[in-house]
Structure 1
């Protein structure tokens, strides 16, 4: 399984904006997932990844994204799948 697929599985399961649960296309988070894959190469640990994930989703959804604490749960999950 490649990095994109792993991150997609975790983000889709999380579905932070409830888009997938409400019937949106399964590529709804494609841009955000790609951004997360890109930062995987430069982050040092789950805390940094969580901050990056939060920033990516904040940029994408502006003031509608208020799930910083959830990013700190999702980040270690993503990193565990790479080990």
Structure 2
């Protein structure tokens, strides 16, 4: 009889896996569906990735425009106060 030992991934590996999941499982602004799975709302994979970041007290990186807001005719209404348009 042999014993099998399982080791948990390191925290950094878990965070990078969670970040990849957040980058691919995006809830669309237009349809409200996950762009990877097609399910309504945030899918269970995205929710699991959010939990990983919550437990480590870290924030994921964000990609502007990932939810494709242009599909619902959203647009920027003016320049931010910190970066005035010349």
Same fold (TM > 0.5): no
TM-score (norm 2): 0.24
RCO (CA 8 Å, sep 6+): is it higher in 1 or 2?
Answer: 1
**Structure (1 or 2) with the larger CA radius of gyration:** 2
